Amino acid sequence: MPEKKKYQDKNHFKITSSTPTPTNFISNPCKFRGKTIDILGVISNSGGMTTREIADQTGMPIKTVNVYCWLGEKRGILERKERWGWIATSFGLFILSINNNNDKSNINKVLIKDKSSINHLYTVPKESHQLNLSIFTSRSDIADPERVVVEVLVGHYERTGEKYRYFRDLYHFCDETGVSAVDAPTAIARLKEEGCIYTRKDEFGWKIGLKVGFVERLKFC
C-alpha cells in the first residue's frame, strides 16, 4: 500500500512540474503584437492616459481597450496610474522598443516600386504638433499665470498630440503647472473667457484642455 502511494506522488510531481508559469508566458516579447503594441505606443508618449483617451488615440472601442489594458496589467506591461488611468511599466516599454526596432523601416519609410522596377525610398513625414506659442505669449495683456498655464498645455500637446490633461483637483493642477492656488482660478477663468481653454469634471478627474479653435490659430497664424 505505501508503495502504491509513492508511485502516485511521483506521477503527480511530474505533471505539476511541467505546467508553464505566467512568468514564462509574459517574458517572451514575441507574445505581444497588434492592439497591445498600439496601446503601448500611445501610452508611452504620455504620463498616463485614461481608457477613453486610449480609445480616442487608437480608434478602438472603449470595451476593447478595457480588455487589453486589464490583460496588460495581468501580464506586467501596464499598471494603474492611481485610479484614473494607465501607464506603461518598464517591461512594457522594453516590449515596445523591441517592436519598434523590428518594424522601424515600416514605420518611418515606405518603399515604392516605379514602372522601371527601380525601388525608390520615400520618407513619410511625421505629423507635427508644433505650435507658434509666441503669438499668444507676446501679448501685453496676458498675465504670467495665464501664460504659464497655456505653455504647460501646449507643451503637453506638442509631446503627445493630446490637447488636454487630467488633474485630481486644483492643488494637483498647481503642483503640475507651478501656478499658485491664489492665481490659478483667475488665470483659468480669464483663459476660458478668451476662448483658449475649457475645463470639465468627469469620472476621471478634472480635465483642462486647449480649445480646437485656439490650437488652429497658433498653427496657421
| Topology (CATH) of 134-220 | Arc Repressor Mutant, subunit A (1.10.10)
Q: CA 89 → CA 11, 30, 103, 180, 197, distances in Å? A: 39, 17, 21, 32, 31
- Quickly list DSSP for 188-215: HHHHHHTTSEEEEEETTEEEEEE-HHHH
* 178 touches 148 (CB < 8 A): yes
Lowest mean pLDDT among 46-50, 96-100, 205-209: 96-100
Structure confidence at residue 131 (pLDDT): 82
Q: What is the CATH number of domain 2-100?
A: 1.10.10.10
Residues of the chain with CATH 1.10.10.10: 2-100, 134-220
Structure confidence at residue 191 (pLDDT): 95
The span from the CA of 77 to the CA of 86, in Å, is 10
Confidence category of residue 94, pLDDT binned at 50, 70, 90: confident
The strand pairing partners of 167, in sequence order, are 206
CB atoms closer than 10 angstroms to residue 157: 20
Q: What is the pLDDT of residues 109-124, one digit of tens each?
A: 444 444 444 444 444 4
Structure confidence at residue 128 (pLDDT): 58
Confidence category of residue 211, pLDDT binned at 50, 70, 90: very high
Mean pLDDT of the chain: 76
The span from the CA of 177 to the CA of 148, in Å, is 7
Mean pLDDT of all residues in 22-28: 45
- Percentage of the chain with pLDDT > 70? 71
Q: CA 115 → CA 106, 109, 110, 119, 120, distances in Å? A: 22, 20, 16, 10, 11
Q: Taking the mean position of all CA atoms in its chain, how far away is CA 202?
A: 19
